[in-house]
Amino acid sequence: MYARADSVPAAVREIIFGNTVYLQSLHLGIANYTALAQRIKPDVEKITGSKVNANTIVVAIKRFADALEIEDRPETTFKGARMSLTDNIIDVDFEKEFDEISSMLDQLFDKNFSVFQTGRHLRLFAEDVAETRSMVNTATKKFDGKIREGLAKINIQFAPSNQNPYDILSVVSNILYNNQISIQDAFFTPAEIVLILSDRDAARAYELLRTRMK
């Protein structure tokens, strides 16, 4: 039984991930896209709830296969990168009073936390330990913050090299996409990638990414 999908690419992804033969044939590069499209067309139409042109399915399969190919390239590794996994993370979202909130962050400076500011939002990701939770609870009441729990953080720090960090970002995105791992939040700089995931997905994502490190 397939879940409802709003687009053809999403439907194609669900069908292929649910069938080992389809997935392996794409991994091995032996699939006939047109024949596969005709075969899965009834399921795609059932999932999307509408009639779908076979050529549209072929395009979706081709893009899916291209993503698999990028992930499988042996040269796309995180050479010399350092990666860490921190579980039991809370996400705190503030929408105003950034200057006043900074005094709270000074108290947390020696803790394991990350902070990102974009536009009208300031996001704080910190380990959910008693001392930090107490500070965060006080701050959220004062500054109307919102707390989200049950998260983990993966931090990938790039090694100084000639490797393009955007290549690493592309590989990371494809690994997570192809393994159906949802990202709750992500932050990217030329020096690092910070991934926020659910606790239940973090360990699996970490192992998948770790295999790309040398």
Domain extent listing, the chain = 8-72, 82-210
Report residue 169 as tokens: 């970002």
Cβ–Cβ under 8 Å, residues 143 and 33: no
Length of the chain: 214
Q: 97-120 burial string, b = 16+ CB within 10 Å, else e?
A: eeeebeebbeebeeeebbbeeeee
Q: Which of 16-25, 90-99, 152-161, 195-204 has the highest mean pLDDT?
A: 195-204
pLDDT, position 214: 59
For residue 78, give the DSSP letter.
Answer: B
Q: What is the distance, to the nearest Å, from the Cα of residue 185 to the centroid of all Cα atoms in its chain? A: 7
Q: 174-203 burial string, b = 16+ CB within 10 Å, else e?
A: bbbbbeebebbbebeeeebbbbbbeeebbe
pLDDT, position 186: 84
Mean pLDDT of 152-176: 78
pLDDT, position 168: 78
Of all residues in the chain, the percent with pLDDT exceeding 90 is 14
- The better pLDDT of the pair 24, 44 is held by 44
Taking Cα atoms as reference points, which of 126, 122, 102 lies closest to residue 113? 126
Q: What is the distance, to the nearest Å, from the Cα of residue 23 to the centroid of all Cα atoms in its chain? A: 21
Q: Which CATH class is domain 82-210?
A: alpha beta
pLDDT, position 141: 66
Q: Please give the Cα distance from 114 to 156 (Å, whole number).
A: 13
Placement of tokens 């500011």 in the chain:
117
Residue 21 has pLDDT above 80, yes or no: yes
Using pLDDT thresholds of 50, 70 and 90, give the confidence band for residue 209: confident
Cα 29 to Cα 15, 26, 55, 155, 175: the distances in Å are 18, 5, 19, 33, 18
Cβ–Cβ under 8 Å, residues 187 and 194: yes
Using pLDDT thresholds of 50, 70 and 90, give the confidence band for residue 89: confident
Q: Which of 31-45, 91-105, 129-143 has the highest mean pLDDT?
A: 31-45
Q: How many CB atoms lie within 10 A of CB 19?
A: 15
What is the helix, strand, coil percentage profile of the chain, to 5? Answer: 50, 25, 30
Q: What is the pTM of this model?
A: 0.56
Report residue 63 as tokens: 């893009």
Using pLDDT thresholds of 50, 70 and 90, give the confidence band for residue 41: very high
Q: Please give the Cα distance from 171 to 133 (Å, whole number).
A: 34
Mean pLDDT of 60-69: 83
Across all residues in the chain, what is the average pLDDT? Answer: 77
